[in-house]
Amino acid sequence: MSEMMVRLKSRNNLIVTQMVVTGLTVIVGMIFGIIMLLVQGGMIEAMPATFYQFLTIHGTFMIGAAALAATAIMWYFLSHYVELSKKILKINLVLFIIAAVMVTVGTFSFEYAGAWTFLYPLPALSASAWGTIGALFYLIGMLVMGVGFLLLFIDSGRAIIKKYGSLGKGLGWDVIIGKKAEKDAPPPAVVASTMVTIVNTTALLSGSTVLIMNIINVINPAFTFNPLLAKNLTYAFGHIFANATIYMGVIVVYELLARYTKRPWNSSRVFLVFWTMSTFFTLLVYPHHLLMDSVMPRWMLIMGQVLSYANGLPVLVVTAYGALMIVYKSGIKWDMASGLAYLSMLGWTIGVIPAIVDSAIVVNHVMHNTKWVPGHFHMYMGLGVIAMTFSFMYFLAKNDNGLKETMVDKTAFFMYMFGLIGVSGSFLTSGAISTPRRFATHLPEWMGPAQFGAVAGILVVIAITIFVIHFIRYISVRNKGNIGSDYYDKKLA
Ligand code: HEM
Ligand SMILES: [Cu+2]
């Protein structure tokens, strides 16, 4: 075995472990999602307090898993271009697992149920629904997770600066201003990683700050702070961190389609400009979560509102266009990985439409806090980021040792697609009939869509279990000595 092979294999081992953790977290998180819909649909009974524990675990696990998967995708491909620290990748995974355990203990053993948004002063003021210990387990768990991710992005920032000179150059600013030729532009994987490094470092610093303030407030309620500042910091974290998952996940679309079509996907000047635009928009739009806070400076709300229309659009447009162009007449062979990559573009595109509709103030007045909101983010998270995640897993399985895909996998693909459209569609329908979000109990006339969503959710979980089993089969084949050949990598090298 050459030294190169050993290095590739140990890199891939860590990534593979990370993807298994993600896959299992997604399954567990989705099961809680289904149970919530069964409760809302009146099909099973649960105390409202229990429902809110499920809501907390579901939100935390799903966002956490999406972020963990997306960072694995980013890390794997970015490490082809810059030198990343394997040690930090490992530390992040360990911290993530510790955090998941702490969050679970806080939620189920100590009844914390303040949702993944932990909005101050809710963690401390629960009307004795939960105590200090539950809140501390949860908040410290989240802080541990945040520190892990922060280390990872500091490392990616360091590595990008080392190779390209600065983060601005990682975004290709010297190409944009014409100092450098388009052909020398950083590749899409580097551009996307730079963007995410910038926005997520910001998000994680705000998140850690407000978590620490919450922790002190829980320990000593005499210590209080400005709730409006807390809300700003919290949503700067939550909005950016959740959104950034798609900007990491999309790297698999760039890299995979380039390999499959044997055509390079280079960064054009327009591509670079659009990514820079989305970098700024992503940082600036979080005030759309504060439209009801009339004490916010007016200009911030207007900015958040206006830019929300445009938030993800630039990247979505260049990516969707590029994906169509690269595939056009390329004679690409469709398989699970490329199919899921394409599906993710579809999910992302359809998911953005109801989000844009919702950001219109007139619509927001009606739809605000209805299930319309989970409707759109389940579409672009569930059919976007999660599809990218499994696209990457099928890619690894094929790339490393060509594990065959069967009819079962293909069936699962369609179950997953229709299942998730069903889940999101049920939320959007609920929203359209004014069902509030985050309500444990539904009026009888709200129950229909919830019941439908539960059934669709079961389809999704079955499909995803099949995806995960395929991946685990690949690991067992791989460990029997059929080691990572990195088929496409070698061909490209
Ligand atoms: C089988 C698939 C899924 C089902 C059945 C499901 C179900 C649910 C339900 C019932 C809610 C509460 C809605 C309400 O406010 O009344 C919810 C909220 C949420 N879900 Fe899912 N979900 C699924 C997949 C996902 C995925 C893939 C993600 C992200 C990657 C996700 C992230 C979230 C988040 C962030 C919330 C908001 C939590 C909160 O309001 O605090 N879910 N989901
Ligand atoms: Cu937002």
Is the CB–ligand 1 distance for residue 58 below 6 Å?
A: yes
Secondary structure (3-state) at 386: helix
More confident site: 324 or 363 = 324
Is 311 a residue whose pLDDT tops 80?
A: no
Share of the chain above pLDDT 90, in %: 75
* Mean pLDDT of the 377-391 span: 95
7: pLDDT confidence band, cut at 50, 70 and 90?
low
319 pLDDT above the threshold of 50: yes
Q: Sorting pLDDT into bands at 50, 70 and 90, what band is 4? A: low
**Cα–Cα separations (whole angstroms), residue 271 to 27, 266, 321, 443:** 35, 9, 10, 48
Report whether residue 141 contacts ligand 1, using a CB cutoff of 6 Å: no
The protein residue with its alpha carbon nearest to ligand 1, atom 9, reads: 33
pLDDT in the model for residue 3: 67
At residue 6 the predicted structure's pLDDT band, cuts being 50, 70 and 90, is low
Token pair 């309620």: residue = 221
* Range from 77-86, 129-138, 345-354, 409-418 carrying the lowest mean pLDDT: 345-354
pLDDT at 407 > cutoff 50: yes
The pLDDT confidence band at residue 323, using thresholds 50, 70 and 90, is: confident
**What pLDDT, on a 0 to 100 scale, did the predictor assign at position 406?**
92
Whether the pLDDT of residue 487 is over 50: the answer is: no
**Residue 347, exposed/middle/buried by CB under 10 A (0-12, 13-18, 19+)?**
buried
**Does 95 contact ligand 1 (Cβ within 6 A)?**
no
**The pLDDT value given to residue 2:** 62
Ligand 2 centroid–CA 239 distance in Å is 4
Question: Going by CA atoms, what residue is nearest to atom 27 of ligand 1?
Answer: 382
For the stretch 170-203, pLDDT in tens is 999 999 999 999 999 999 999 999 999 999 999 9
- Does residue 366 register a pLDDT over 80? no
| Ligand 1 contact, 341 CB (< 6 A) | no
Residue 5 reports pLDDT greater than 70:
no
Q: What is the mean pLDDT of residues 145-154?
A: 98
- Is 70 exceeded by the pLDDT of residue 68? yes
Tell the residue nearest (CA) to atom 11 of ligand 1. Answer: 33
Alpha-carbon gap, residue 25 to 55, rounded angstroms: 15
Percent of the chain with pLDDT over 70: 95
Q: Determine which of 8-17, 149-158, 373-382 has the lowest per-residue pLDDT on average.
A: 8-17
Nearest to 289 by CA among 308, 314, 267, 315: 308
Residue 438 CB less than 6 A away from ligand 1: yes
Closest CA to 68 of 103, 30, 94, 87: 94
What per-residue confidence (pLDDT) applies to 239? Answer: 94
Top mutation candidate among 27, 58, 446 for ligand 1, by most atoms within 8 Å of CB = 58
Is residue 106 over pLDDT 50?
yes
Q: Is the CB of 55 under 6 A from ligand 1?
A: yes
Token readout for 66 is 């999406």
Q: Is 437 in the pocket of ligand 1 (CB under 6 A)?
A: yes
In the chain, count of helices (H) and strands (E)?
18, 0
Q: Residue 376's CB: how many other CB atoms inside 10 A?
A: 24
Is the minimum distance from the CB of 423 to ligand 1 under 6 angstroms? Answer: yes
CATH class of the domain comprising 3-478 = mainly alpha
In this prediction, residues 218-228 reach a mean pLDDT of: 94
What pLDDT, on the 0 to 100 scale, is given for residue 13? 87
- Ligand 1 probe mutation, 35, 43, 53, 62, most atoms within 8 A of CB: 62
The answer, yes or no, to whether residue 124 has pLDDT greater than 80, is yes
- Residue with CA nearest ligand 1 atom 33: 59
Atom of ligand 1 nearest to the CA of 439: 16
| Average pLDDT of the residues of the chain | 91
Answer whether 381 contacts ligand 1 (Cβ < 6 A).
Answer: yes
Ligand 1 neighbour 371 (Cβ under 6 A): yes
Q: What is the pLDDT of residues 293-303, one digit of tens each?
A: 888 998 888 88
Which pLDDT belongs to residue 478? 75
Residue having the nearest C-alpha atom to atom 38 of ligand 1: 59
On the question of pLDDT at 482 being above 70, the answer is no
Residue 289 DSSP code: G
Exposure string over 102-126, b if 16+ CB within 10 A, otherwise e = bbbbbbbebbbbbbbbbbbbbbbeb
Between residues 85 and 7, the one the model is more confident about: 85
The answer to whether 344 touches 381, Cβ cutoff 8 Å, is no
Going by pLDDT thresholds of 50, 70 and 90, the confidence category of residue 89 is very high
Taking each helix axis from N to C terminus, what angle separates 227-261 and 313-327, rounded to the nearest 10 degrees? 10
Q: How far apart are the CA of 422 and the centre of ligand 2, in A?
A: 23
**Is 398:350 a contact under the CB 8 Å cutoff?**
no
Closest residue by Cα to residue 198 from 134, 80, 284? 284
CA of 307 to the centre of ligand 2 (A): 11
pLDDT of residue 491: 45
Distance of CA 84 to the CA centre of its chain: 21
Give me the phi and psi of 79, to 5 degrees please.
Answer: -70, -10
Write the CB contacts of 377 (distance below 8 Å, at least 6 apart in sequence).
242, 351, 355
376 lines ligand 1 (CB under 6 A): no
**Closest-lying ligand 1 atom to the alpha carbon of residue 382:** 27
115 lines ligand 1 (CB under 6 A): yes
| pLDDT recorded at residue 333 | 85
CA distance 274 to 265: 15
How do residues 458-467 score in pLDDT, each as one tens digit?
999 999 999 9
Report which protein residue has its CA nearest ligand 1's atom 19.
Answer: 59
Q: Whose CA is nearest to atom 40 of ligand 1?
A: 438
Strands (E), 351-411: none
Model pLDDT, residue 270: 94
The residue whose CA is least distant from atom 8 of ligand 1 is: 33
CA nearest ligand 1 atom 17, residue: 33
Ligand 1 centroid–CA 144 distance in Å is 23
Q: Which of residues 439 and 304 earns the better pLDDT score?
A: 439
Residue 344's nearest CA partner among 307, 312, 391, 304 is: 391
Write the DSSP symbol of residue 330: S
Asked if 131 and 110 count as a contact pair (C-beta separation under 8 A), the reply is yes
